[in-house]
Each structure stands twice: as structure tokens, then as C-alpha cells.
Amino acid sequence: MFYLGHIVALARDARLSTSYKPALLKALIRVVPKVAGSPIPLETLGAEYLRLYWIQTVVFHLRQAATLHREPEIPRDIRDVAEQYQTRDLRQLAPNVRRTLEARLARRLKTNVLAAFHKSKPSGMPYLFTWSGANFIGVSEEARTFIVEHNGVLEALANLW
């Protein structure tokens, strides 16, 4: 069974070198209610990461790293595409360019984000999602119900994480 305290403990004990883990929670919160059933393609999460990071990275020029010399890959990928196509407006990216960027972000999630998300999970907490290395994640009906029922609180937690 899921409890909000599980998510608080997960966030509290997580090692944060970037904002990828809270962004993954926020992506799950936004995607799970819209997607019927499981599995959820990683490109769907990549698209949500693009929407989340575009405003921070391109519009507001926020940095997501402890040092300015080594920007994490996801914001760097987004910044590079925005500069290449000389746009601040995500809607102005050609659909094929946007899909390519979403796919690249989905591949980045496989590198460290998905496997690392549950590392600080308290004992007794079920997994919010499962991932076996494939191009999708699984979300149990219990996790789906928890995310949908506690959507607002989880989003606030992700924002403050």
C-alpha cells in the first residue's frame, strides 16, 4: 500500500545532483492519469520532460547543476536544440525535431534516472513504476490509483523537492 509519507521519505533521503528525480515524479503525475493502462512508453515521459525543462532552460535560463561547468545532459540537449533552431517557443519547433528531441530525452532517462529513482525508497514502499531496461515503464493499478487520488499533493511535493 502507498502512503504520502513514503514519497516524503523517498524525497528526503534522495541524493540530488540534478532535478531529474523530482521531474520524474512530476512527469508521472502528469502522464499516468492521461494514459490508459500500462505500459507507458519512455517517449511519453521524454515529451513531459521536454515540457517541464523547456521553460526553465530556454525561457528562464535556469541551470540544473551544482557547478556551471558541467550542465546535465537533458537541459543541455534542450538548450542546444533551442539555439540551433533559434527559438524560445517550444511550439515553434517542427514536429519531427520535437519528436527527435523527445526520443533523445527518453534515452537519457534510461541512463540513470529510472534506475536511480527508487534507490532511497523506504522499506515497505511499493514501487511507483517498474522498469526492466525496455522502452517503457509499468505502473500497477495500485500505483495508478495512488497517483490519481493524490495528484495535487504529489505535484506540490515534486515542486518543493
Whole-angstrom Cα distance, residue 58 to residue 77? 11
Instruction: Supply the range of the domain harboring residue 51.
Output: 4-160
Query: What is the rounded average pLDDT of the residues 100-120?
Result: 90
Report the pLDDT value the prediction gives residue 111, as an integer from 0 to 100.
85
Q: Into how many domains does the chain fold? A: 1
Band (63; pLDDT cuts 50, 70, 90) = confident
Q: Is the pTM of this model over 0.85?
A: yes
Are 156 and 7 a contacting pair, CB within 8 Å?
no
pLDDT at 19: 74
| Distance (Å, whole) CA 68 – CA 50 | 21
The answer on pLDDT for 18 being more than 80 is no
pLDDT at position 154: 92
**Distance between CA atoms of residues 91 and 50, nearest Å:** 12
pLDDT value of position 160: 76
What is the predicted pLDDT for the residue at 54? 95
Q: Which of 110, 101, 103 is nearest to 134 (CA)?
A: 110
What percentage of the chain reaches a pLDDT higher than 90? 60
Distance CA(28)–CA(139), nearest Å, equals: 10
